[in-house]
Structure 1
Amino acid sequence: MNKKWMLLLGALLAVFVIGGCGSDSKEASADEEESSAEETTASENNEDKTNEETTADSKAATFPELIDYMKTTTDAEETKVFYEHTEPQTHEMEGVAVSLDAYSLVGIKDFHTDFSIPFDDETSGAVILAKYTVENDSDKEVFYMPRFDLTYSSGLVYNNDYKELLPEDQQLFEKLPPDTKYSLKAGESITGFVAYPFGTAELETVMGEGSALIEVPAAQAKAADFGNPIGKEGKFTINFDEAGAKETESNKEFYQDAVSIENMGDKKMIEQKEGIGESKELGDATITLDGYQFTEFKPNEIEAPRFENFKNGIALLTVKFNVDNKGSANIALDNLRSNLYVNDGAQYQMNEGMLSPHDYGEIASAGGTGELFQVYVLDKEQYDKIWKDKAFNIELGPLYDDNAKDVSKGKKAEFKLK
């Protein structure tokens, strides 16, 4: 394991130092108005105090306050902040926005066994405290289940919210609860926290990967009906130190296929072209070739077995299309297939669906638009010695709706990259 992770994990067993203190919430009510001036003044003072405390209760807590609460509640010996990130990430969904406002990775040592199960039965580990805001900027009530699962490549299970580590009035799931069917009124904005626990063994694994993903569900137009999504699902990235944050930032220059989103390894740009703008009609849709990127790719240790057949290095071709769906049927993006022809058409291969960023059921809705990415895995040696100076052509289609019905009558569109 990398030395910095050994040092970081070793800190779990070392002395933890953290500043910050919690504050008790008190409720006061104004006394009835009395005739004397002194009693009136006292009553006004009490009212002012009540208003201040009500305002304070409605505000989001600070991370030091939450850490202090967690330490006290779990009877932990000590806690320590390993890393904190305060630059927001936002996912927009047609009038509904979700933001990961900030997060803090906190080590927690020797806590009560009552809290050990979500930590894989360990009594030391770490917790990611994540602050989220869900905002409805539309003029209609929407419904949003705030299930922000944390995932990583080698994880066998999702890391879900362990809300008992947080004060009830700060828990996002209590602010958007099931008994209201997760209702979010027009113009309403809700901020709350989610806690993700890790035992020391799992923490070692996830930190070795360098980052994790937060899955962001789509909003829903109808209560208790997940067949009416508003916008589409998204993802946020959690990093574990400043180096990881810088790597995530530099990763933004690449098209966000699954390789980039899931941090499967390192990309290095070979060649790119953007703003091509070549359009073809296919069924009731206009498909526009927007751009492409050739990258040299080195998978990480976890993903390497998937690419073990590529003995001479790997080049990835990621192609971006824009889909303008003018028809009355949705167009499925998750199962759209294509062929790449190389070596002046002498060889071809299909796109690699497992490297597509499109989630199951993702569509370009009827009358709407969408981005489509197609990814191809190339032998780097053949690319360098044979293919790179010859023609690359793509045959895309046919198009299918979200019930797997062919909506382009078997027709395909052809695009020339170079």
Structure 2
Amino acid sequence: MKKSLFLMSSLILSTSIILGGCGKSADETKKDDEPKKTQEEKGQAKDKDKVEKEESKKDQESIKGSADFASLISYMEKETQGKTKVLFENNESQVHKMEKVSISLDAYSVVELKDFHTDFNIPFGEQTNGGVILAKYTVKNDMDKDVYYMPSLDLTFTGANKIYTNDKDLIPEESQLPTKLGYKTDYLLKAGEEITGYIAYPFGETDLAKINELGTVTVEVPKPYTEKENYSSTLGSDGRFNLALNRDGSKKVASDSSFYQDKVTLDNMGEKKMLKEKSDINESKKIGDVNAILEGYQFTQFTPNEVEAPRFSNFTNGVTLLTVKFKLENKATSEIGLSAMTSKLSVNDGMQYSLSEGMLLNYKYNDVIKAGETGELLQVFALDQEQYEKIWKDKSFEVELGPIRDKDVKDTSKGKKETFTLPK
């Protein structure tokens, strides 16, 4: 990095010697000025040295990264014969709890890696310039029994052509989380145990440019198991970490935290702008053996990004999204399959209706609310923005929820449904 330059200017004094007049002689003037000039020069030199040291320190930090990542970056640079530069770092922890098991993203560093050996180019899309996201994770078991955890912390972003996973050749093997908690250890996380390790996600320069423009990426957090290789013995629910990659990304992550976490928000599908919201409604209705509680709703103006725009091509007048939040108390003997739940929105005093959009929800097949447990259900509706603004927004909205279904889409509430009117 180019260091700041200090331009030193000398004060040139013109002294007129007038014979027989008052004042100092040229020799006297020179003697008086010399100490003053020397003092100024010393002060400027001292200031210059101080600033240069500070900038040198900043340069070193930007090249090598924080203490968490400095040794890893040095290793990666030496191993790949490439040149590194830290582009962005974040040390604010994110935690996802799965009952008494938790995983935290403690810190991460976005590192540019250029001109590296071709032996390493395959995970970089066969390019020899790119970047690496180094992430530090801690997995903790606060239960009084062992669990099993596979740290397949896959990274993705809007428009990604593949899933990004750990590259075992970029950082020391003994520091990698999949080494400390992997197949050699049977993925065993003992009662009371805590394991910290790193994952390196590589990107070619093409994908690095994409994620820098998006500003954010996400990491999928899987659930632990209470029994070895028994994939039905899971605890809690899957989670996500949102990673900002630059200042704009940090602003995006901060603003998105105020929105319900539907797929639009979680996958950074575009920009949301809050139009109207209401929370703490807490209206409860019974659907079979399930108490459905309307907790709140959000109307947002939505502008899809370039990647997602084709999905919304039918909305020529803009898109308004309605996201409705329910709490479901499952008092039945069967599970509730979140991905199988649907609803209907009636607008314009019942003259028009819209069905919930499953593609805008983040639920997977195995996302359920077990018998006897309580969980959240989001439902999303896509509306024509112009009609919303001109016709619908001041009229009543009714959401019909049900029937209750399990993950195999089997009706478990005998066709029962309930209608909720969204309060203004």
Which residue is equivalent to 1:239?
244
Match of 1:108 in 2: 113
The one-character-per-residue Cα deviations of 1:329-384 (angstroms, maximum 9, x if unpaired) are 11101110000000001111100001013233211111101100000001111111
Q: Percent identity?
A: 50
Determine helix, strand or coil for the equivalent of 2:311: helix
Q: State how far apart, in whole Å, the 2-side matches of 1:328 and 1:214 are.
A: 33
Whether 2:222 is the aligned partner of 1:217: answer yes
Instruction: Describe the SS at the equivalent of 1:227.
Output: coil
Could you report, residue by residue, the CA deviation over 1:292-328 in whole angstroms, capped at 9, with x for unpaired residues? Answer: 0111111111111111111111111000000100111
Taking a change above 3 Å as real, the CA distance of residues 207 and 21 of structure 1, as seen in their structure-2 partners, is closer
CA distance in 2, matches of 1:73, 1:123: 14
8 Å contact kept, 2:337–2:365: no
- 1:242 and 1:170 map into 2 onto residues whose CA distance is 29
Whole-Å Cα distance in 2 between the matches of residues 241 and 209 of structure 1?
A: 9
CA distance in 2, matches of 1:411, 1:62: 55
* 1:344 maps to which of 346, 349, 358: 349
* Equivalence for 2:14: none
1:272 equivalent among 266, 277, 284: 277
Counterpart of 1:195, as a letter, is A
312 and 403 in structure 1: CA distance in 2 versus 1, 3 angstrom threshold: closer
Q: Is the 8 A contact 2:105 2:138 kept in 1?
A: yes
Corresponding residue of 1:65: 71
What is the root-mean-square deviation of aligned Cα atoms in Å? Answer: 1.7
Deviations 1:1-47 (A, max 9, x none): xxxxxxxxxxxxxxxx645999xxxxxxxxxxxxxxxxxxxxxxxxx
Tell me the SS of whatever aligns to 1:372: strand
Once residues 227 and 363 of structure 1 are traced to their aligned partners in structure 2, the CA distance between those partners, rounded to angstroms, is 11
- Runs (4+) of structure 1 moved beyond 6 Å? none
Match of 1:143 in 2: 148
- CA drift at 1:396: 0.6
1:185 aligns with 2:182: no
Q: Work out the CA distance in 1 between the residues paired with 2:393 and 2:370.
A: 36
Which of 378, 381, 399 is equivalent to 1:373? 378
Corresponding letter in the other structure for 2:222: P
SS of match in other structure, 2:232 = strand
2:404 to 378, 399, 408: 399
Native 8 Å contact 2:215 2:248 kept in 1: no
Q: Which runs of 5+ in 2 are unaligned?
A: 1-58
- CA offsets, 1:101-155, max 9 Å, x none? 1100001111111111101111111000000010011111000000111111111
Q: Deviations over 1:246-286 (max 9, x none)?
A: 22111111111111111111111111110001001111110
Residue 170 in structure 1 maps to residue 175 in structure 2: yes
In structure 2, C-alpha distance between the alignment counterparts of 1:402 and 1:389, rounded to whole Å: 36
SS at match of 1:401: coil
Match of 1:326 among 325, 328, 331: 331
SS in 1 for 2:310: helix
The TM-score, its normalising length taken from structure 1, stands at 0.85
The structure with the larger Rg is 2
Contact kept, 8 Å, 2:212 with 2:246, in 1: the verdict is no
SS at match of 1:164: coil
Q: How many residues align?
A: 365
What residue ranges of structure 1 are gaps of 5+ in the alignment?
1-16, 23-59
User: CA separation in 2, counterparts of 1:326 and 1:140?
Assistant: 28
2:123 equivalent in structure 1: 118
